[in-house]
Amino acid sequence: MKLASGITSKKLGAKKVAAVILAAGRSSRFGDVKQVLPWRNKNLVNTVVEIALLAGFKPVVVVLGANAAIIRETLDESQAIVVVNHDWEQGQSTSLKKGMAAIKEAVEGVLFLLSDQPQLSVNLVGSVAEEGLRSGKVVVPVINDRRTNPVYFPASCFPLFDELKGDAGGRQIISSCPHTTLPWLDDWMARDIDTPEDYEELKKHYGV
């Protein structure tokens, strides 16, 4: 297994991989609509859309739920397919299914990203997908022995998404698919924004 650390990511080439960005949560721990928090010259969700586009993913799907109208106003729907999960309170599994249903073209696989990880590098997301294309397996990044996001699923696993329930998300089906890990060296790539303190720490570290 290769150990990735910061080499410029290869392009995905002719193979088509979709990206689904999960942005349906209420942000109850944060206390505000964190998907629209500023990050450089964009907000969080639009930054993640940009990362997916720069890495070569197509189509890019954004799944909204709570505060959908507020967040949707900020999105450019010529760049990403925007869908609303009205069942978001029933758990993350409903958003994964909604995102998968929005992919109408044949793809080799799909990468799931979180809207509260604006610091993810194009290198990381591209490398996860490249490893998935190379191996034909589910790929989970591992940082400091911790499994983290984004996670890639090959098309061979797509039928299993119908079995998802509750808030456990794609973790429920990983064991049912061939899977592997991608070790990564940058600890900051494993972080997400759950609280205002998390947001301030990330902004300080990245000079935002």
Residue 53, domain CATH: 3.90.550.10
Is 107 domain-assigned? Answer: yes
Is 10 domain-assigned? Answer: no
Give residue 68's domain range: 17-206
Is 70 domain-assigned? Answer: yes
Mean pLDDT of 54-82: 97
Residue 178 has pLDDT above 70, yes or no: yes
Residue-level pLDDT at 180: 97
Q: Regarding predicted confidence, which is higher, 8 or 42?
A: 42
Is 118 domain-assigned? Answer: yes
Is 12 domain-assigned? Answer: no
Q: Mean of the per-residue pLDDT values for the chain?
A: 92
Is 7 domain-assigned? Answer: no
Distance CA 27, CA 197 (A): 14
Please count the structural domains in the chain.
Answer: 1
pLDDT band of residue 11 (cuts 50, 70, 90) is low
Q: Are strands 17-23 and 109-114 parallel, antiparallel or unpaired?
A: parallel
Residue-level pLDDT at 172: 85
Structure pTM?
0.92
Is 117 domain-assigned? Answer: yes
Residue-level pLDDT at 4: 40
Distance CA 93, CA 133 (A): 24
pLDDT band of residue 169 (cuts 50, 70, 90) is confident
Residue 135 has pLDDT above 70, yes or no: yes
84 is written with which tokens?
């609303």
Distance CA 95, CA 88 (A): 6
Residue 88 has pLDDT above 90, yes or no: yes
